[in-house]
Amino acid sequence: MTAKTSDGPDGPRLLPVGSEALIVESPSLAAAMALRARIAADPPRGLTELLPAARTVLCRFATGLDATAARARIAALVGTEAAPARRVDEGDAARSFGTVEIGVVYDGDDLDAVAAALGMSRSAVVAAHTGSPWTSAFIGFAPGFAYLAGGDDRLTLPRRATPRTTVPAGSVAIAGGFSAVYPGASPGGWHLLGRTDAELWRPEREPPALLPPGTRVRFRPVRELVRGAAPPDTAGAERQPASAAGVPALRVDRPGGLALVEDLGRPGYAGVGVPASGAADRESLRRANRLVGNPAGAAAIELAGTGASGGFRATAVRDTIVAVTGAPCRVTITRAPTHRSLARGESPRVADLARADWGRWADWTPAGDELPPCAEPVGDADAPRIVDAASGAPLLLHAGDAIAVDLDVDGGAWSAVLGVRGGIAAPVVLGSRSRDLLSGLGPLPVTGGDELCVPAAARVHAAVGTAEPDPPLPPATVNEPAPLTLQPGPRLDRLTPHSRMRLTELVWRIRPDSNRIGVRLEPADPDLVTDDGPPLEHVADAELASEGVVPGAVQVPPGGGPVVFGRDHPVTGGYPVVGVISPASLDVLARLAPGRCVRLVSQSPGDHLDVIGAW
């Protein structure tokens, strides 16, 4: 069955990207820029992000209903006229930011391979890269990552068959007719020609990107990089994970694995290369906040994996209420031996809340100072008491109490959320307190000795929630893989028919090099892939110009191993996106440890996603 992804034989192609976004194809980069301007001038209802790329525009909406309703309107905005193709560096915008010269040491890992592929010498490749000016067309992939168009037409190569898991910051590269400089260390599939010390992205600079769209760029070969004085540290507020003005609530004794401050993210900045980021498991973040009486998007601590020394440990600095949600874990509280006894019938004040059994006042709110009378005496504890506490329930910590969270990694659990009443106080960057591993925005990972604060001015009036048991974690074994719902993607036709079937028939295992940027999958049983090719094969000429992507996008590099984009994903990519994991399944995936197994289940069972374009 052929995917119905067009409004007609000659009409614009509007391709689904999951249930809440669509891609509009354009005949050229200039046409894509013009289309982006037309949509921005009269945006459809619910439009949250608008991201132009090489030949497409990604439109992302608040809901699936908004995306469906906007389809006809966007098709009308596209019009029937095709914008004439032209070189980007001919526009007036190219003169508005002047010319930036970038010194490059041409010693890249791929320089010899590029020269061989193009039938040129190393020196000829360098001469071609430096001999013609480039122009910043758009920013994508990562903050400050400018796609530079123009240059020498001979420097056109497809991306690497298998992307590197890490490309060093400052790497100068080419792919698909573009050149670029990697602003920070990140995954990447471009060909590395050299390196520079130019600072491509600095959040406190205006504009933060060194090469905003329209900037002319000249590369200059140099023998070595001479670094000047380090720029002033104006981003010091980001160097403590939760040191914004606030009242200390917890002191971290041990972070366990990776502990990050996360909220619901910073949507709306994809156009400058900044992903929304935010909690990997959004449902668990909302539930943790609900349990402690916070707004749904309050910042919390995301705990992932287990460190070499064990799980997360923290000590309460003051009386506070916390909740742990997410994947299965053991939560224990060590009670400090300082609790005053309460007489029968005595009404403790709010300050004494921790000195009695919290379960008697689960609906307590700070709006009142007095609590219901104690039903029975509660005696002092002569020594610390270690008690098991339930995840998925509000937990009271008195000053001096310690909490421990140990994820059941052996059972497949990988992430949990620790919510604190009042929310975590941390610097706000572009409207969010979230740590973004790709862009480096937001507070640094939590380390031992850090104090987690709640905002000094925070007034929480919502009642503490009642217990909500954590949903069970799927077995996620080879015989019982965790099902992940696969929604329509724009480039399923870039896979061979056999690979389209394999996509949903094979059991996939989560690779250990997965993270918040992308979850890498491999066949759980390599023997089932009986041929000598990659697990998933592209059709001939499957190379794509870079286009916008969304969280949950399933991208398939030529190496054939699917990559599911996480919350800190690049905002653009050039490998085919063949489907999108549903938001609910993306939460489940965040809870699964490397080595666990999953199966991609078509949203329309039985059709192997062949109706992927039927809206």
Which uninterrupted H or E stretch holds 497?
Answer: helix 497-505
What is the distance of C-alpha 325 from the center of its chain? 20
What is the distance of C-alpha 75 from the center of its chain? 29
pLDDT at 287: 97
Helices (H), 272-380: 282-292
The DSSP bridge partners found for residue 258 are 304
Structure tokens at 580: 């999108």
pLDDT at 381: 46
What is the distance of C-alpha 580 from the center of its chain? 14
pLDDT at 163: 86
Dihedral of CA atoms 69, 70, 75, 77 in degrees, nearest 10, equals: 140
The CA distance from 53 to 573, in Å, is 9
Q: What is the DSSP letter of 543?
A: -
- The answer to whether residues 534 and 493 touch, using CB atoms and an 8 Å cutoff, is no
pLDDT at 1: 29
pLDDT at 289: 96
- Return the ∠ at Cα 603 (arms to 598 and 604), rounded to 5°: 125
The CA distance from 574 to 450, in Å, is 40
Structure tokens at 257: 């694995």
What string of DSSP letters covers 435-457?
--TTT--SPPPP-TTPEEEEETT
The CA distance from 472 to 392, in Å, is 12
pLDDT at 190: 95
The CA distance from 529 to 535, in Å, is 6
Residue located via tokens 């090469």: 211
**This prediction's pTM:** 0.80
Structure tokens at 227: 């670094």
Dihedral of CA atoms 141, 142, 148, 152 in degrees, nearest 10, equals: -70
The CA distance from 606 to 610, in Å, is 9
The CA distance from 159 to 144, in Å, is 20
Structure tokens at 306: 């287990």
Residue 68, classed as helix, strand or coil, is helix
The amino acid that residue 560 corresponds to is G
- The answer to whether residues 615 and 75 touch, using CB atoms and an 8 Å cutoff, is no
Q: How many CA atoms lie within 13 A of 49 on its CB side?
A: 28
List per-block mean pLDDT (blocks of 10 residues) for the chain, which spans 615 residues: 39 86 90 86 91 91 93 79 43 57 96 96 97 91 89 92 90 94 90 96 81 90 68 39 72 96 92 90 97 95 87 95 95 78 44 41 39 42 73 93 93 95 92 91 94 80 83 91 96 94 96 95 83 84 83 93 95 92 97 97 56 33
- The answer to whether residues 454 and 421 touch, using CB atoms and an 8 Å cutoff, is yes
Contacts of 611 (CB under 8 A, 6+ apart): 1, 3, 4, 604
pLDDT at 383: 61
Q: Is the peptide bond before 497 cis (omega within 30 degrees of 0)?
A: no
pLDDT at 203: 76
Residue located via tokens 């009409």: 11
pLDDT at 244: 53
- The answer to whether residues 437 and 516 touch, using CB atoms and an 8 Å cutoff, is yes
Is beta strand 508-510 parallel, antiparallel or unpaired with respect to 329-335?
unpaired
Q: What is the DSSP letter of 97?
A: S
pLDDT at 234: 34
Least Cα distance to 249 among 329, 320, 158 occurs for: 320
Structure tokens at 134: 């480039």
Residue 53 to residues 25, 34, 46, 560: CA-CA distances in angstroms? Answer: 10, 11, 21, 24
The CA distance from 239 to 457, in Å, is 22
The CA distance from 265 to 436, in Å, is 9
pLDDT at 310: 85
Through-space distance between the first and last CA atoms of the chain, rounded to whole angstroms: 15
Contacts of 372 (CB under 8 A, 6+ apart): 347, 360, 361
Structure tokens at 403: 């909490």
